[in-house]
Amino acid sequence: MIKASEKASKVLIRDFGEIEKLQVSKKGPSDFVTNSDLKVEKIIIEELKKARPNYSFISEEHGVEKNKDKNNTWIIDPIDGTINFLHGIPHFAISIALKSYNEIVTGLIFDPIKDELFFAEKENGAFFNNHRIKVSKKKELDDCLFVTGGKINQETKLSYRKSGCAALDMAYVAAGRYDGYFQHDLNIWDIAAGIILIKEAGGMLNEIDLSKNKNIKIIASSTDINSKLLKKLNNF
């Protein structure tokens, strides 16, 4: 998994320096795909197949590929934060997770520009560049900084930011940089790696139906503020 992300990141770094030359197509409102997405995804799938040839795949561009082993599925987002990437904003990431049966057991989020690797494995903890990470220890919402994306349907009275990269948002919650994350209408490839990162870093998330690939809602934070955050976002 790490080897696949590192190999794919070389393409991303090179293409980020030549954005104006990329072929770009539009999939929907504010939803773009570049030839970088396709190249990176191809490299990751090829590398993962070398290690686990029978595992299945769910990926943003490739779609669903069911192989002999349907109980183990790689979930891939080759570039989470494509719009940032296209505008020359150095805030995007490769996201890879492994779902075993109906549980995320391993997750990796790699920011190739900052050379920041977030990794987690079930019951083995969460790590940032090989250093153990934990969620924030803040106990009062007024002291917290949250992150979100998309439209917010209510006045939250929370201090929050929007970064344009769900994978890094969740990685930053796991590392204690943000105190919590909430967002609607997510895809499974946006959040799969982040789920295991936050759990292994000691955080909490709402119940997520991993059989769904789209229209997923996330509310994540430390255990200390989770009940307060849920109350604040009761109509979210």
- Is 143 known to be catalytic? no
Tokens representing 63 are 């779609």
Q: Which of 82, 104, 88, 119 is nearest to 5 (CA)?
A: 119
- Is 225 known to be catalytic? no
Q: Which of 15, 80, 169, 224 is catalytic?
A: 80
Q: Which of 34, 37, 41, 82 is catalytic?
A: 82
Q: Which of 61, 77, 169, 179 is catalytic?
A: 77
- Is 82 known to be catalytic? yes
- Is 77 known to be catalytic? yes
- The half-sphere exposure of 84 on its side-chain side, counting CA atoms within 13 A, is 19
Q: Which of 44, 45, 75, 79 is catalytic?
A: 79
Q: Which of 37, 41, 60, 61 is catalytic?
A: 60
User: What per-residue string of b and e applies to 102-123 under the rule 16 or more CB within 10 Å gives b?
Assistant: eebbbbbbbbbeeebbbbbbee
CA-CA distance, 149 to 160, in Å (whole number)?
Answer: 10
- Is 80 known to be catalytic? yes
- Is 190 known to be catalytic? yes
Q: Which of 41, 47, 190, 200 is catalytic?
A: 190
Count of CB atoms situated within 10 Å of the CB of 145: 15
Active site positions, annotated: 60, 77, 79-80, 82, 190
